[in-house]
Structure 1
C-alpha cells in the first residue's frame, strides 16, 4: 500500500476546458476556520455516538478493527489516509476484483446497492452516513475540508483524463454538490461536472448551503448505499 504523504504525478491540460479555481485568500482563511470549528464541534458532540458505533461493530465482528483506513488522493494529487467506521468484512478489498463486473455506476467509480461485503451494522451506518464521521479527523489535519470534491481512490485516478484530474485542484471534502445532488444515483460524468462547477463557484455561502442540505439528506437517508 502506498505511504501517506506521497503524490500522484499529474498535469492539468491547458485548454478551453481548464477550470478557473476560486482561491481568494479571504475565502480560504474563512473556510479553514469553519473546517476547524466544525470538525472540533462534531468530534466533541458526537463522541457518544462514536462509542456506540464502535461497540456495535465489535459485537458483530470482534476480531475486526473499528476503523477502516484507506489511501485516497487529495489536493494536487497528494495521497493521504482517509478514515471511516468499518462497514464491510475485513477482507473486502480482496473480494472487490470479483465484484467489479457488477458495478452499478459509470466511469472510474464502483457502486453496488446490495454489496455482499457490507455487514449488518455497516448497512445502517452507511445508510445514515455515520460511517463517514471519522473523516472529521482528516478535516482537523487539513487533509480534507467539510465541503469539496469526493477524494478518489488511486485506481480511480489512474483512469482519469486530464479533464477529470482538475477535481484534484482543491482540498477534497466530506460532502459536496455530488452528495446533495443525488449521491449514489449520480454517475461519474455528472459527478465530475458538479465538482468542477463547485471549484469555479465556491464561496462561504455555497459551502454553508451544501452543509445544511447535507444534514437534510442524511436525516432523510436519501440515495445512500
Structure 2
C-alpha cells in the first residue's frame, strides 16, 4: 500500500487529507521531516508526497533533498497556478505531477487511487529520474489488442479487398487516408481510414457553400427592402430594424434587434455564413463524400484500417478517441492530462454512452468521460464497452 505524506502548513489542506478514506496521512512542516517520514525498511514501499508550493528557490532545494534521500516517492505540487517557465523549473527539480491547492477531498482521493493503481509502472527504477506521469500500456491490454487485431484482420480480409477495389473504381486517389492524431502521452501518429471523400473534396465544398451564400445574399437584399421588419431567422425572436438605438454605430450600419439581443447586420451575416459553411461538414448529402464513402461510413467499414494502428501500438481496441492536433492542443491543462493517460482507441466509453443518449452529448461530457476512462480503465470495463459497441455497430448517421 502506498503511504501518503503532506509537506506544508495549510490547515484547509490538512483537514481535507484527514477525510481521505482508508489512508493514514503523515503531516510534516519541513522537508527533512518529510524525507524521514518517507524512509522505509519495507521492501518496495512507496510514498506520495503532497508538497504545498512556497518560495521557488526554497522549494527546489527541498525537492532535490527529498529526491536524493528517497527514491520511491511521487511528488505532487499543490499550487494555484504556474507559468510555463516555473513549471519547467519544478519539473526539472523532480516534481512528478501538479494539483490545485484547493482540490476537493474527492479530487485528492482520485489522484491517490490513480497512482496506487499504477504503482508498478510509476515507481519503476529503470525510468528516467526526471519525468512526468506517463502512460504505459499494461501487458494484458497489449496482448488482447494484438490477438483481437490479428483475428479481426483475418475475418475482415474479404471486406478489405472489396472496399479497396470499390474505392479505386469510383474515384481517383489513395485507398487509405492518413491524418495526424494525438494519442496517449500526447504522442502524434498517422491515423488510418479508408478514403471516403473525393480528392477534390474541399473544392466541391466551397462550390456548394458559395451557392448557398449567394442564396443567402439574395434573402438579405429582399429583407433590406422591408423597412420595419425582417423574417425570423431563429435567433431569439422576431427582428426589426432599429432607427432609435443609442448604441455608437456608423451612420450606414443597420442594427437588428431581437427579444434579448442587438446585433449589427454585418455581424449577423457573418454568423449566418459560418453556420452555412459549418453545416456542410455534417449534412447528409455532403458533396465531398463518395457513394462508396457513404456506405462504408454507415457501417463503420472506413475504420477497419485502424486495426493496423492497433498492431503497431499506436492505438488499443478500447480507449479514448485519438484527437486531431488542434483539439489536443486545447487539452494540455492539468485537469485534462488524465485523458491522455490511456491509449487511443478504436471504440471507447463516450462512444457507447453517446449512442445510448441518441447521439446527444456535449464536448465537455465527452471530455469528462475520456478522463474517467483514463482514471478507471480495467479489463472488465473494456469488455463491457466492447460488448456494447458490437450492438451499436451500425450507425444511424455519419460521424
Structure 1 residue 130 displacement after superposition: 0.7
> 2:318–2:347: 8 Å Cα contact kept in structure 1?
yes
Q: Does 1:180 pair with 2:352? A: yes
Query: Which of these two proteins has the greater Rg computed from alpha carbons?
Result: 2
Distance 1:91 1:194 in 2: 36
* Residues 92 and 71 (structure 1), Cα distance of their counterparts in 2 relative to 1, 3 Å cut: farther
- Say whether residues 1:88 and 2:173 are aligned partners: no
Say whether the 8 Å CA contact 2:319–2:346 is kept in structure 1. Answer: yes
Question: Is 1:14 matched with 2:111?
Answer: no
Instruction: Using structure 1 for the length normalisation, give the TM-score.
Output: 0.80
Counterpart in the other structure of 2:369: 194
Per the alignment, residue 4 of structure 1 pairs with none
Compared CA separation, residues 122 and 136, structure 1 to 2 (3 A) = same
Residue 390 of structure 2 is matched in structure 1 by 215
* 1:46 is aligned to 2:156: yes
State how far apart, in whole Å, the 2-side matches of 1:153 and 1:93 are: 18
Distance 2:372 2:319 in 1: 11
Q: What displacement does 1:111 show? A: 6.1
2:289 alignment partner, SS class: coil
Helix, strand or coil at the partner of 1:65: coil
The reply to whether residue 153 of structure 1 matches residue 324 of structure 2 is yes
> CA RMSD, aligned part only?
3.1
Q: Contact between 1:182 and 1:223, CA under 8 Å: does it hold in 2?
A: no
- SS at the partner of 1:88? coil
**Contact 1:185–1:223 at 8 Å: present in 2 too?**
no
| Preserved CA contact (<8 Å) 2:342 2:373 | no
Secondary structure class of the residue paired with 2:189: strand
Runs of at least 5 residues in structure 1 that lack an aligned partner in the other structure: 1-9, 105-109
Q: Residue in 1 aligned with 2:138?
A: 28
- Compared CA separation, residues 166 and 112, structure 1 to 2 (3 A): farther
Q: How many residues align?
A: 209
- How do residues 53-202 of structure 1 correspond to structure 2 at under 5 angstroms? 53-61=163-171, 63-92=172-201, 101=275, 102-103=277-278, 112-114=282-284, 115-160=286-331, 162=333, 163-182=335-354, 185-202=360-377
SS where residue 138 of structure 2 aligns?
helix
TM-score (norm. length: structure 2): 0.47
Write 1 or 2 for the structure with the bigger share of strand. 2
Q: Which moved more, 1:34-43 or 1:153-162?
A: 153-162
